[in-house]
Amino acid sequence: MRNYDLTPLYRSAIGFDRLARMAENAAANNGNAGYPPYNIELLGDNQYRITMAVAGFAMDELEITSEGEKLLVKGTKAEQQTERQYLYQGIAERGFERTFQLADYVTVAGAHLENGLLNIDLVREIPEAMKPRKIEIGSGKVLEAEQQSE
């Protein structure tokens, strides 16, 4: 995999350093890339769902942490009391950590485990101050009258 030098972006773009760091982290984050498998769905304009296949994990072996703009999903398998002798082992029984970078104003709405699938619902809640608003157009005479009264 190629490593791209994003230094020119830092020199000429103000405020995009966070975006460049995200791109660098995504390029460098290859470890455990396929486990566990997951889907990211768009449910609505501002609603998303991450579905992870976590077969074999109990609810108390899974942990979801949201801190700032990072979502961490961690699975820790408990030690088995009895030794098993497998003829074939195709089900992974290893722990995992999967990190997702969340966009601004995306928060976790809830999570549930059903049939070996962990569903994490996300919603983007844009603050009223950040939403588009319509600006009424007035005449220049109103502004002139206000300036004269001052």
The amino acid present at 93, given as its one-letter code, is E
pLDDT in tens, 30-41: 555 678 999 999
Q: Are 77 and 61 in contact (CB under 8 A)?
A: yes
What is the token pair recorded at 149? 């009264």
**pLDDT computed for residue 12 by the predictor:** 61
Is 80 exceeded by the pLDDT of residue 2? no
Spatial strand order of the sheet with 70-75 comes to 62-67, 70-75, 96-101
| Average pLDDT for the chain | 81
Instruction: Please tell me the pTM assigned to this model.
Output: 0.68
d(CA 22, CA 16): 10
